[in-house]
Amino acid sequence: RLNHRRTPDAFRTCLNFAQNEESTVTNTVPASCQIQPDPKGFLSITKEKCDPMTPFKRSLVVPAITHYRCHPMNGVRVGEACNPGPHCQPPNPTDSPVHQVTCVVTNPTSVYRKTPELVDLAADLLILSETSATQAVQAIEGQALRTKGYHSAWGHPVPPQLSSASDDSLRGAAAGVSVHSRYMCRNSHHPDHSDWFYSGRCQTVFVQFPTIEVKVCNMYGFPASTAFAKGRTNSLFEHVIQTSRTTTHATMICGDFNHHPDQLDAMQILRSLGFRTVEELHFDLTGQTLPHTFGTSTKNDVCILSPTLASLMTHVWVDDSKRFAGHNPLVFQLQLPGHEICT
């Protein structure tokens, strides 16, 4: 680059260089001539007027004297287009749209022929316990829900209610779990070969929300009327917790526990990991206790959220429209930001 603040001696030096190269240049530059810096880093000696008496035949362009040696790549950015266009600005997270996801946890007491009632809940994610879904019912109701825009992930089919019934029976035993989502969902690629899974009381499903993939662990506890119900439910709960910790996904552990989670010793494991129940989050949001999810007596339809999901909770309520016998669906909403969430 040319240093425009050089002293006149520098110009004289360039002029002397030109004199040595061109004999047509006199020792004194006429008044009609100018020595001007050129933008390309050279000195240009030109005439302002055409004077036939002046022995100055043509202009001279000589290198400018600089402090450093010029390099042909100076001022060149290799790889840049000649016309690169506007600079790309990183997306502003505040400009991205948020996504409101509605989740429902309930016990329909047999899912057979309950598709209209489930669709009326207008949920993005349905987590069901005690589906009583045999293999035949799973095929029938899975197709019915698919026509309504839901993807289904079923737990292990339950056996027929009567031991003498055929394999295509539509009346299953009082067990079974399933997850249905308007977003893509799948069962875990790592199959659960435990007796808990084959009993139809637990499943692990991954749901791809718009900006985060969530791990849903669904379980159905033992009714209090059965022998050793609390201890068996606690063992089932421990198994589900162990399964939930095999990955680092944001996790929700849901289902009809048939016991309040604080009555189960395994709940302390989740509390030590920062998990919170939807019941607690409802109190934080409203300052009121959560209504009962079964009649007017218990709150055993449960959802427990990992810290990431708990921070996204915006609304919680219990649907008391009496769609299902005895059970009132637990409904909550998550507000997902427009940018991807990393866990």
Average pLDDT, the chain: 83
Task: Say yes or no to pLDDT of 299 above 70.
Answer: yes
d(CA 296, CA 294) in angstroms, rounded, equals 6
Query: pTM of the entire structure?
Result: 0.72
Report percent pLDDT > 90 for the chain: 62
- Res. 240: pLDDT tops 60: yes
What's the rounded Cα separation, in Å, for the pair 286 and 185?
31
Residue 39 has pLDDT above 90, yes or no: no
- Whole-number pLDDT of residue 213: 96
Q: Express each pLDDT in 99-125 by its tens digit.
A: 999 999 999 999 999 999 999 999 999
What is d(CA 155, CA 134) in angstroms, rounded to the nearest whole number?
10
Report d(CA 330, CA 75) in Å as an integer: 65
Q: Which residue has the higher pLDDT, 217 or 96?
A: 217
Say what percent of the chain tops pLDDT 70: 71
pLDDT of 24 > 60? The answer is no
Q: What is the pLDDT of residues 145-179, one digit of tens each?
A: 999 999 999 999 999 987 666 667 888 999 999 99
